[in-house]
Amino acid sequence: MFKDTEHLIRLAVVMVLALLLFVVLRAAVVPKSFGQYGHYRGNAVAEIAARTPRFAGHAVCEGCHSEVFDQKKLGRHDNVPCESCHGAQGNHAEDPASVKPQLPDTAVICARCHEANSARPKAFPQVVTPDHSGGLACNTCHKPHTPKIEEEPKTASTKPTGGKK
């Protein structure tokens, strides 16, 4: 038997109290959902999923603008999604009356895809815009939803195939 056993008992009591304090503090501090799926806060998954999308998606566009979809089906821009050119329209889809989208500037937006660049796939239609249009907006001659020009161009000075590669 040890001498002065109560020292050891006192030490044991202090350690048990410290352990209890740790357990209580840990339960209070660690989020409830921690460990629900793994070593992370399970609620984070739902929190990240809860944000509101800004791009409405072309299915939503079709709900109101089906005539544009019919028009697009006739041309090669059939598979180009609306928001690719028109930008994020989630707010417009939520409240079509008060949020009106702006028409994109074709001189900028068409060139992003169709300006000649040697890294683009060879079969993809490309033009050197200064030679092709001389700085005119593309929708002077082309209709963006059905881009192929069927009849004579409106202005005689522009040759739609002039700069074609």
Partner 1 sequence: MEITRRRLLVLLPAAAVAWKYIQAGTPEAAPNYKIAEHWWGMLIDIPKCIGCGSCVRACSEENDVPDGYFRTWIERYHVPDWKIERPEVSSPGGGKQGFPAGQELGGKNFFVPKLCNHCEDSPCTQVCPVGATFVSPDGVVLVDKNYCLGCRYCVQACPYGCRFINPKTNTAEKCSLCYHRITKGLTTACCEVCPTGARQLADLKNPKDPIHEFLKTHTVQVLKPHMATGAKVFYNGMDGSVR
Nearest-approach distance from CB 113 to partner 1, in angstroms: 4
* Contact window for partner 1 (CB under 8 A) among 3-11, 95-103, 109-117, 149-157: 109-117
48 binds partner 1 (CB under 8 A): yes
Nearer of residues 49 and 97 to partner 1, judged by Cβ:
49
Question: Which residues in 60-79 contact partner 1 (CB under 8 A)?
Answer: 79
Token digits of residue 161 = 């195939």
Nearer of residues 22 and 124 to partner 1, judged by Cβ:
124
Q: Which residues contact 14 (CB under 8 A, 6 or more apart)?
A: none
99 binds partner 1 (CB under 8 A): no
Torsion (CA) 88, 74, 67, 65 in degrees, nearest 10: -10
Question: Which residues in 22-41 contact partner 1 (CB under 8 A)?
Answer: 31-34, 37-41
Using alpha carbons, list the distances in angstroms from residue 74 to 67, 70, 79, 132.
Answer: 12, 7, 11, 24
Q: Cα(first)–Cα(last) distance of the chain, in Å?
A: 100
One-letter amino acid of 65: H
Nearest-approach distance from CB 37 to partner 1, in angstroms: 5
Q: Which residues contact 96 (CB under 8 A, 6 or more apart)?
A: 64
Considering Cα of 114, then 118, then 123, then 129, what sign does the dihedral take? positive
Given candidates 72, 83, 92, 144, which one binds partner 1 under the rule CB under 8 A? 83
Given candidates 3, 51, 100, 154, which one binds partner 1 under the rule CB under 8 A? 51
Contact residues for partner 1, defined by CB under 8 A: 31-34, 37-41, 43-55, 57-58, 79-81, 83-84, 87-88, 111-113, 115-121, 124, 128-129
